[in-house]
Amino acid sequence: MNRVSEAKSVRTLIKSGIAQLRDAQVPSYTLAAELLLLHVLGRDRTWMYSHPEEEISLVNAEHYSALIRRRAAGEPTQHLTGKQEFWGLEFEVTPDVLIPRPETEHVIEVALERLAAREIRAGRRQPFSGEGLRIADVGTGSGCIAIALAKALPGAILFALDISGAALEVARRNAERHGVSDRMLFFQSDLLEDLVVATPFAANVLPHPSTTAIVPCELLRNGDPQSFGVPHPTGRDSPFRFDVVVSNPPYVGRREAATLMREVREHEPEIALYGGEAGYELYADLIAQSAKYLLPRGILVLELGHDSLPAVKPLLDAPAWTGVSVTNDLAGIPRVFAAERS
């Protein structure tokens, strides 16, 4: 074990961290070594580069060495620092949630572009704050998509759904961190389906937006309608008809598991990764349920796996959908599928 026995400088520590991670064949080893040192020191990169000779306390150096060993053994950097940036915002991540990926930002771009285009078509003025919109994020994980949309659309209400209660706890903390929890509701649900049982209890009402409690659909099923709070100001028929449904569902095939990086395969939640043996199995139910929950002219935006398009495209050929579009990611992979409810 490489224990730290005497004071070391920033430069010495970072060099040794880089060397250990390179030897362990960690991807982006320089960045990982830097991020871990910045995390331990609570400093930013500018400080690190301008203080190469600064002596690091033995406690911090020991801490850094321990993190480097864990990273070399395969733990993702984000699990060691507890955070990941997405859409310019810092999100808490834990082993209970998928680490937000850069390609998922395309989901937000497409949703915002589609909404803006719909507003222009309706002759409404820009910029658009999303006043009164109801947006569902199915499989919210860390909450990154829902929270980014809540920040971009300060008038919208976000429904964050996940089958994992542990993930919803992380999403709820992230919503608080970013000051949007008063406009977010959290539901533990299998895709959108468990909302069906909530509807009879909650007709014309929404759970009180100022509570950030997770609403297990079990509670809605057996619950007291009083606990669902205030009438919704826009007074639409059901609280669970949406203007937008977004989702980055699990889409990796179990048959591909061996090809995943070990950081992903061994450390990210299986429920967030695998959509079934082939990977695209959840899309059929997700699209059928979205057709039911979207309002007319409602927008569906889905992230796709690298080879999901051929299986998913026919599902949006139905008369229920118009204006189907596919957006490639920066690597040229068809990544986002969007359509409008007829």
Ligand X SMILES: C[S@@+](CC[C@H](N)C(=O)[O-])C[C@H]1O[C@@H](n2cnc3c(N)ncnc32)[C@H](O)[C@@H]1O
Query: Which of 100, 190, 189 lies closest to 141 in space, CA to CA?
Result: 100
Nearer to ligand X, 37 or 215 (CB): 215
Does position 164 interact with ligand X (CB under 6 A)? The reply is yes
85: number of Cβ within 10 Å: 12
Round to whole Å and give the CA distance between 55 and 57. 7
- State whether the Cα torsion 279-112-234-209 is positive or negative: positive
Q: How far is the CB of 108 from ligand X (least distance, A)?
A: 10
DSSP assignments along 56-89, one per residue: EPHHHHHHHHHHHHHHHTT--HHHHHTEEEETTE
Q: How far is the CB of 156 from ligand X (least distance, A)?
A: 17
In the structure encoding, which two tokens stand for residue 69, read together? Answer: 């060993």
Does position 141 interact with ligand X (CB under 6 A)? The reply is yes
Query: Pick from 65, 84, 104, 308: which binds ligand X (CB under 6 A)?
Result: 104
Round to whole Å and give the CA distance between 225 and 58. 57
Round to whole Å and give the CA distance between 52 and 155. 46
Round to whole Å and give the CA distance between 98 and 143. 10
170 neighbors 142 (Cβ within 8 angstroms): yes
Mark the segment that binds ligand X (CB under 6 A) among 2-10, 18-26, 242-250, 323-331.
242-250
Binding mask 205-224 for ligand X (x = CB under 6 A): --------------------
Query: Pick from 167, 195, 217, 336: which binds ligand X (CB under 6 A)?
Result: 167
Q: How far is the CB of 88 from ligand X (least distance, A)?
A: 15
- Token pair 């007291």: residue: 224
Query: Pick from 100, 253, 279, 334: which binds ligand X (CB under 6 A)?
Result: 100
Q: How far is the CB of 145 from ligand X (least distance, A)?
A: 5
Q: How far is the CB of 95 from ligand X (least distance, A)?
A: 12
Does position 250 interact with ligand X (CB under 6 A)? The reply is yes
Does position 279 interact with ligand X (CB under 6 A)? The reply is no
Q: How far is the CB of 2 from ligand X (least distance, A)?
A: 34
- Tell me phi and psi for residue 70, to 5 degrees: -65, -40
Does position 271 interact with ligand X (CB under 6 A)? The reply is yes
292: number of Cβ within 10 Å: 14
Mark the segment that binds ligand X (CB under 6 A) among 3-11, 161-169, 174-182, 316-324.
161-169
Mark the segment that binds ligand X (CB under 6 A) among 24-32, 48-56, 98-106, 222-230.
98-106
Nearer to ligand X, 40 or 107 (CB): 107
Nearer to ligand X, 182 or 190 (CB): 190
Query: Pick from 174, 248, 289, 308: which binds ligand X (CB under 6 A)?
Result: 248
Does position 190 interact with ligand X (CB under 6 A)? The reply is yes
Does position 65 interact with ligand X (CB under 6 A)? The reply is no
- Distance, first Cα to last Cα, the chain: 63
Q: Give Cα separations from 317 to 138, 287, 296 (angstroms).
A: 21, 11, 17
127's CB contacts (< 8 A; 6+ apart) are none
| Number of separate helices (H) and strands (E) present in the chain | 14, 14
Q: How far is the CB of 98 from ligand X (least distance, A)?
A: 4
Mark the segment that binds ligand X (CB under 6 A) among 3-11, 19-27, 156-164, 220-228.
156-164
Does position 139 interact with ligand X (CB under 6 A)? The reply is yes
Q: Packing angle between helix 165-177 and helix 144-152, nearest 10 degrees? A: 30
AA identity, residue 145: I
Q: What does the binding site for ligand X look like in residue numbers (CB under 6 A)?
A: 97-98, 100, 104, 138-142, 144-145, 161-164, 167, 190-191, 248-250, 271-272
